Structure 1
Amino acid sequence: MPLGILQDNKLEHVPGTSPLHELGRTDLELATGIDRGLLKHDATGQIVLVPQPSDSPNDPYNWPRWKKEMFTVVIAYGCGCVGAVGPLLTPAFVPLATQFDVPLQRFTLGCNGSCIVAIAVGSLLCNTLAVKIGKRPVYLVTTLGLAISCFWAAEVTSFPSLAAARAVQGLCMAPFEALIPASVGDIWYVHERGFRMAIFNLGVLGGINLASPIAGSVIQYGSFRIAMHAMGGAFVLMLLLVIFFMPESAFLRHDTLNIDTSIHDLETDMPEKKKPVQHIEDRPKSYTASSEPRDSYVKTLMPWTGYWNHVSFWRTFLRPFVVFASPVVMWATLLFTICISWLVLISITLSQIFSAPPYNFSVSAVGATNVSSFVASLLATLVAGPIIDGVAKYMAKRNHGTFEPEFRLPVMCTYLIFTAAGFFAWGESLYNEDPWPIPVIVCMGLINLGVQLGTTAVVTYVSDSHREEAAEAFAIMNFIKNIFAFGLTFYANDWLAAQGVRDAFFVIGGTTVAVTLTTIPMYIFGKKARSWVKRVGVLDSVLKVE
């Protein structure tokens, strides 16, 4: 029972478990059945690379450092833009509902609800296309769609047209929520993912939190049309960044050692029939990955690399629903939905809360309430990577050099402490009509600090547990999360008006505590759950390529 995790004795090797540290040991072969001489390490020689890269210079794991970092920079900017466009108009919901002559609840449903449900559908569709043809074409087309839909929304003359533009925006936003975690897993090793997942979350949450302060002032002193035009310009820049610095990360990897996804202690991926490990050095000299020429930079700019997965379209479409059968994905979906959806509820009720007495905020002031959320998310990002990666490496060291994906989960205690406390305090402070710094700075700061740490831990855990099915896992997680958030748009404003802000957020806080406590059994039984998924073969009928 390593560090509280129940061991599994049914499989020789449980997928997700892998050697991470050698720590100067000479008994690694005896302890894990893996010949140390076959494993590739980082530059220090102390950390085993998980997953093991191939010898090909075109393998994303072998990209130059600058190329990986630029890819991550584009992720941060792109996710920031995508995070911003969703709540862009929320500070002005009350005056805009009046301007378009529709009730507030209907305006919320049409403006945000249509966007959210489109993200849910787009998550499944974009995942299917990404698995079939690769991720780059999907990123390119949807980024172009985001720019066009923003310019469309800026020129609408009716509420139905605005709702339609927002639906198109949601459809095009989907890959930057559902595919990015899988792209991070495509190019970064296990011991490097925590910080990059935090960057992804900062982009999304930072965009959400910065959009309102900026857009609020623009809308108040200009119009929502100016804000949408500016957002369209931001996506034009994003399109250029995707073209030049976001090459295809999907890669068919052969002749590598499966030390994290195999059910055996050591297994190789080879294009022909699998051979025993001891014969690796006897491969035919006619095919070696290292002899492949490195793709030129100009070639990587092609919109499509020719990547093609021969599995059927409908089988690919069904993959996310089958992956949901994994207890790891079920649990992560529950946590991910709770982590993010309550932020959606807060965003669509901010105008309702702070435009009314006793605060009587202007549109720009309502938008400015999110500044503290951005600062909290930024601070959380600075510590999320070192904490999540650091805890995992420390626990792997304590576990005799063996990494378990469950080592990502202890960080969830920060989500329980900060976010739950923030929700309770938010409801109480607004009920007591406390001065605005208490709910805005203290409460929203606590909530976003916890959410950033919690979501980073969840997505990293899923990526480590189901590396080969990461895209499908995040697609179904985003689908369910957005369907739940869409449901909130039907009753959020009326719920707060009818029940009161304190009772509503006490319910939210209590729900958050109950759901987060499920992390304890997930940590204890997670390895057995991963073993069960592999032994039963619940994913194989749909995930295996014919």
Structure 2
Amino acid sequence: MSVDDVEKSVEDGQLTPTGEHGLEKNDGKPLKTASDGTILVPQPSDDPEEPLNWSWRKKHMAMIVLAFGTFFVKFTATIIAPGAHQLAEEFGTSPRRATYIASAASVVPAVAPFLWVPLSNRLGRRPILLVGNLMAIAFAIVVARANVYGQALACRILMAFGASVGICIGPGAISDMFFLHEKGKRMGINSFLLVCAPYLGGVAGGSIIYNNDLGWRWSMYISAILYAILVVAHFFFVPETLYHRSSFGAPKPPPPTTFVGKFCKFMGFHPPANPHNHTWLYTFTRPFAMFAYPAVVLPSLWFSIAGMTEVANTAGFPLNFGPGTRYNFNTREIGFCSFSGFIGAVAGEFFAGPLCDFVAKRGLRRQEAGGEKWRPEKMLHVLWSGVITVSAGLLLYGLELNYPSMGTRSWAPALAGILIFTFGQEILVTVIMTYMTDCYPQRAAEVSIVFQFWLNIMAYHPPFYVPQWIHSGGGAKVPYIVFAVLPIVIFPFGIGVFMWRGPQIRAKGRIVDWKKE
């Protein structure tokens, strides 16, 4: 199968199940390679406007802005989290209920992509990114001015809905611009910012809210300012990344004459071609098709279980370390607890992204030399270190909250557990996202929908019951032992099965088609 055949089958909705990308020579024409001889996957056209052919500077400026769009979603969610006690006093509620203003919005990125991604497929990634971020600005300001608990909670959810464009469209746009051997490190940067965002948000929020001249309301005003900066950066540095090969060589459209047409040209909006005349109904139902592909659903579900405590951990810092606990931290010190997660994410990214690129380059070079063909499953062996450290970190955190090993006021061992957990989480998210987008490169945005759906659904519910579970008779050790064991128990069904029979499973295509084949 040639590269063109693979890409045509993907565009027609018939996903290539092999993950081999059709790397054979096509009618004697040599494949394009990078300067170091690595085969370019996917093979680019000769059109300089294709995102794969953009300059290094243009690609990486866009990638940085897109990655910060992902970062701000969770950064602005937890920037308000350390102020649980201040929010409780402001709205006349309990600290536990006040944490919901930060944690309840965590479910939104699970559902928002079902609107944003189809719209981006029909209207383009660029306009939808701008609209979503403008929505985030507006509702951040409303939250900052809220006078009742219900208003603050509802507008935080709507703010997260707009902001979610970054977390679901960003990975797809990054995938549009980079080749297979480059994706690991670039996806790793995006994943790094995704993982460290809630922890840096906690650090920043603790200091902002602790300052009497600022307080919790300014945490939301600052969020609005950050999104305003992001909108400007999107406008200048993120062109439209969706590209259809069929448009190469076609005559250029005439200059627009209407006001709307001129405005769209000025804004850089280029609605993608619709060569198959797909209806809007097809466009909005297309993302659901990815839920039928085992190589997307099972790894996403497994990772969501492995990382499901993320929101409970950050939202729980005020309850586990704040006033009235053995640590008795103030708001700023509660925020500093999040440094542990940030350090873990930094360490994990130094390991995960470069190693993914190394595995991909080595596999492609071996194939070019006549060795075994590249399979995306080769990437999954990088996961072992992440599996071990995620479980070890959760176990250490829970046991230290229960049985402090260095005295009742020693916080270091417990937060070391969060550091180790986040180190493993960063490895897992980088490898799994790289693997899934390698399996279905032309459906990266839809793959991201499935991943974010399970991740945010599973992260949503622990904050509602983990505090009560910790304060039950068994203490913190019981929930965290359960959370530490679950990823190991489920690993054979979510990941191990693809290490064993991945190509054969993907060759069967969608789950609903198995009985027919």
Q: What TM-score range do you get, normalising by the shorter chain?
A: 0.7 to 0.9
Paired letter, 1:427: G
The whole-number CA distance in structure 2 between the counterparts of 1:70 and 1:173 is 20
| Cα drift, residue 383 of structure 1 | 2.6
Tell which deviates more after alignment, 406-415 or 314-323: 314-323
- The 8 Å contact of residues 112 and 166 in structure 1, kept in 2 or not, is answered as no
Tell which deviates more after alignment, 188-197 or 385-394: 385-394
| Cα drift, residue 153 of structure 1 | 1.3
Q: Which residue of 2 aligns with 1:212?
A: 202
Deviations 1:443-494 (A, max 9, x none): 1111111111110001111100011222112112212322222222332322
Q: Which residue of 2 aligns with 1:84?
A: 75
Q: Which residue of 2 aligns with 1:522?
A: 498
The whole-number CA distance in structure 2 between the counterparts of 1:69 and 1:366 is 35
| Cα drift, residue 126 of structure 1 | 0.6
Candidates 361, 368, 372, aligned match of 2:340: 372
Q: Which residue of 2 aligns with 1:61?
A: 52
Q: Which residue of 2 aligns with 1:102?
A: 93
Tell which deviates more after alignment, 319-328 or 329-338: 329-338
Change (3 A) 1:436 1:535: closer
| Cα drift, residue 14 of structure 1 | 4.5
- The 8 Å contact of residues 94 and 352 in structure 1, kept in 2 or not, is answered as no
Paired letter, 2:485: G
- The 8 Å contact of residues 316 and 463 in structure 2, kept in 1 or not, is answered as no
Candidates 15, 18, 21, aligned match of 1:15: 18
The whole-number CA distance in structure 1 between the counterparts of 2:419 and 2:190 is 19
Tell which deviates more after alignment, 475-484 or 52-61: 475-484
- The 8 Å contact of residues 154 and 229 in structure 1, kept in 2 or not, is answered as yes
Change (3 A) 1:482 1:145: same
Candidates 233, 248, 252, aligned match of 2:240: 248
Q: 1 or 2 for the larger relative contact order (CA 8 Å, sep ≥6)? A: 1
- The 8 Å contact of residues 466 and 479 in structure 2, kept in 1 or not, is answered as no
The whole-number CA distance in structure 2 between the counterparts of 1:359 and 1:380 is 28
The whole-number CA distance in structure 2 between the counterparts of 1:514 and 1:184 is 33
Q: Which residue of 2 aligns with 1:344?
A: 311
Tell which deviates more after alignment, 97-106 or 123-132: 97-106
Count of equivalent residues: 478
Tell which deviates more after alignment, 522-531 or 374-383: 374-383
Q: Which residue of 2 aligns with 1:261?
A: none
Q: Which residue of 2 aligns with 1:177?
A: 167
SS at match of 1:178: helix
Percent of aligned pairs with the same residue? 26
SS at match of 1:335: helix
The whole-number CA distance in structure 1 between the counterparts of 2:27 and 2:364 is 19
Change (3 A) 1:240 1:119: same
Q: Which residue of 1 aligns with 2:320?
A: 353
The whole-number CA distance in structure 2 between the counterparts of 1:490 and 1:173 is 23
Change (3 A) 1:217 1:394: same
Q: Where does 1:250-265 land on structure 2 (aligned, <5 Å)?
A: 250-254=242-246
Unpaired runs of at least 5, structure 2: 1-13, 256-262
The whole-number CA distance in structure 2 between the counterparts of 1:311 and 1:292 is 22
| Cα drift, residue 299 of structure 1 | 8.8
Candidates 280, 287, 304, aligned match of 1:313: 280
Q: Which residue of 2 aligns with 1:331?
A: 298
- The 8 Å contact of residues 31 and 39 in structure 2, kept in 1 or not, is answered as yes
- The 8 Å contact of residues 88 and 98 in structure 2, kept in 1 or not, is answered as yes
Q: Does 1:386 align with 2:386?
A: no
| Cα drift, residue 401 of structure 1 | 6.0
Q: Where does 1:446-457 land on structure 2 (aligned, <5 Å)?
A: 446-457=420-431
Paired letter, 1:209: Y
- The 8 Å contact of residues 366 and 372 in structure 2, kept in 1 or not, is answered as yes
Output the TM-score relative to the length of structure 2: 0.86
Q: Does 1:302 align with 2:267?
A: yes
CA RMSD of aligned residues (A): 2.5
The whole-number CA distance in structure 1 between the counterparts of 2:252 and 2:38 is 27
| Cα drift, residue 117 of structure 1 | 2.9
The whole-number CA distance in structure 2 between the counterparts of 1:465 and 1:315 is 22
Q: Which residue of 1 aligns with 2:6?
A: none
Candidates 155, 172, 176, aligned match of 1:165: 155
Deviations 1:24-75 (A, max 9, x none): xxxxxxxx5655633111123x111101111111110111111001011112
Change (3 A) 1:35 1:450: farther
SS at match of 1:42: coil
Candidates 35, 42, 48, aligned match of 1:51: 42
The whole-number CA distance in structure 1 between the counterparts of 2:454 and 2:286 is 14
Change (3 A) 1:497 1:151: same
- The 8 Å contact of residues 141 and 224 in structure 2, kept in 1 or not, is answered as yes
Tell which deviates more after alignment, 300-309 or 164-173: 300-309
SS at match of 1:361: coil
- The 8 Å contact of residues 409 and 523 in structure 1, kept in 2 or not, is answered as yes
| Cα drift, residue 108 of structure 1 | 3.1
The whole-number CA distance in structure 1 between the counterparts of 2:266 and 2:47 is 19
The whole-number CA distance in structure 1 between the counterparts of 2:452 and 2:303 is 8
Change (3 A) 1:430 1:43: same
- The 8 Å contact of residues 218 and 224 in structure 1, kept in 2 or not, is answered as yes
| Cα drift, residue 433 of structure 1 | 2.3
Output the TM-score relative to the length of structure 1: 0.82
Paired letter, 2:271: G
The whole-number CA distance in structure 2 between the counterparts of 1:401 and 1:106 is 56
Paired letter, 2:180: V
Q: Which residue of 1 aligns with 2:8?
A: none
Q: Where does 1:379-458 land on structure 2 (aligned, <5 Å)?
A: 379-398=347-366, 400=371, 402-434=373-405, 435-440=410-415, 442-458=416-432
Q: Does 1:482 align with 2:456?
A: yes
| Cα drift, residue 341 of structure 1 | 2.4
The whole-number CA distance in structure 1 between the counterparts of 2:447 and 2:375 is 19
| Cα drift, residue 110 of structure 1 | 4.5
Change (3 A) 1:63 1:301: farther
| Cα drift, residue 511 of structure 1 | 0.6
